[in-house]
Amino acid sequence: MTNGPHDHYEQAWLSQGFSAIAGVDEVGRGPLAGPVVAAAVILDLAQVPAGLDDSKALNAKKRMALYPLIMAQARAVSVASLPASVIDAINIRQATLRAMALALSGLSVKPDVMLVDGRDLPPFAAQGEAVIGGDGKVLSIAAASIIAKVTRDRMMATLDRHYPAYGFAAHAGYGTAKHVQALSQHGPTAHHRLSFAPLKEKTPSGL
């Protein structure tokens, strides 16, 4: 692949004698509500699902089609999430790195290398490489981005059933006009991030 994710990064580490290369990505850094979700995926490079790409470059139907293929064909998949209360307590950057570390720790195959989307490596005992824009460059990170996105979307759809006034299923917690209007009418729930503007100084309600 030249115009999308490829396995060059994985192959470079494999050529150095490493065997379990985990791609790591997260979704949910920017929303006003809901968890941050991280996924770690160790692909079997002999059977990579066709069409892997950055989850943001795929429509929901394509992501949903790829999700079970990744789950079935990868060597190992793990997902971890942290709720709004933890994000407020330790900040979104630290929560993201912690979720990534938890996802790595949950893999059934112990990774000896982590390829992470972004600039920072999570606190995990393995060799690592941070790749800016990695979800569009690295196959295993692209797979992790899809797993994380589908997982979080499902979590937000569940929240939507408990809090139908907020439209969580439609906007996934991001600060859309409808979401901001719902906040002004109903106030934040316990799933809103009170450390994020414009939610500071508001009092949580609901669960």
Show the tokens assigned to 169.
Answer: 């299923």
Q: How far apart are CA 120 and CA 168, in angstroms?
A: 29
Burial class (CB within 10 angstroms; exposed 0-12, middle 13-18, buried 19+) of 50: exposed
The residue segments making up the domain with residue 145 are 8-162
End-to-end CA distance of the chain: 46
Predicted confidence (pLDDT) at residue 1 exceeds the cutoff of 70:
no
Mean pLDDT of 30-51: 96
Extract the tokens encoding 106.
Answer: 């949950």
> Does residue 182 belong to any structural domain of this protein?
no
Task: Indicate which CATH number applies to the domain containing 120.
Answer: 3.30.420.10
In-domain check, residue 1: no
- Model pLDDT, residue 14: 97
pTM: 0.94
Alpha-carbon distance 7 to 207, whole Å? 44
Give the count of domains, the chain: 1
